[in-house]
Amino acid sequence: MKIGNDAHKRIFTSLCIAFVCGVLVQLVQITIFNTAGIDRILGSLVSISMLIIPIHIAVVASYVYQKDWRYVAITGTTTMLFAEATLRMYAIG
């Protein structure tokens, strides 16, 4: 079965949104949290907020872009994977 150009475009767009929100937004968020001392204020809730904020940004961006709930769910899940990988890389380094 051959996949059309529209499907390739949707997959690529989903991956781009997930990468930008999962990695770049996550790195900006880590920098802001460490600089402003928010990580000390939130305590154990900081790891949860580190995952929730990028996922919500990705879900809103993908809904505005496509208005398709399947697309939103896939983008949110992919963003979660990128955000978790970024947190693990930050914790190692």
Domain chopping of the chain, boundaries: 22-92
Buried b (16+ CB within 10 A) or exposed e, 23-49: bebbeebbeebeeeeebeeeeeebeee
User: For 35-91, what is each residue's pLDDT tens digit?
Assistant: 888 878 877 788 788 888 899 999 999 999 888 888 899 999 999 999 988 888 887
User: Quick one: pLDDT at residue 10?
Assistant: 85
User: Quick one: pLDDT at residue 46?
Assistant: 80
pLDDT of 3 > 70? The answer is: no
Q: Which residue has the higher pLDDT, 60 or 6?
A: 60
User: Quick one: pLDDT at residue 2?
Assistant: 63
**What secondary structure does DSSP assign to the chain, as a single string?**
-PPPHHHHHHHHHHHHHHHIIIIIHHHHHHHHHHHHTHHHHHGGGHHHHHHHHHHHHHHHHHHHHH--HHHHHHHHHHHHHHHHHHHHHHHH-
pTM for this model (two decimals): 0.80
Q: What six digits make up the tokens of 88?
A: 């693990």
User: For 7-29, what is each residue's pLDDT tens digit?
Assistant: 888 888 889 999 998 889 888 88
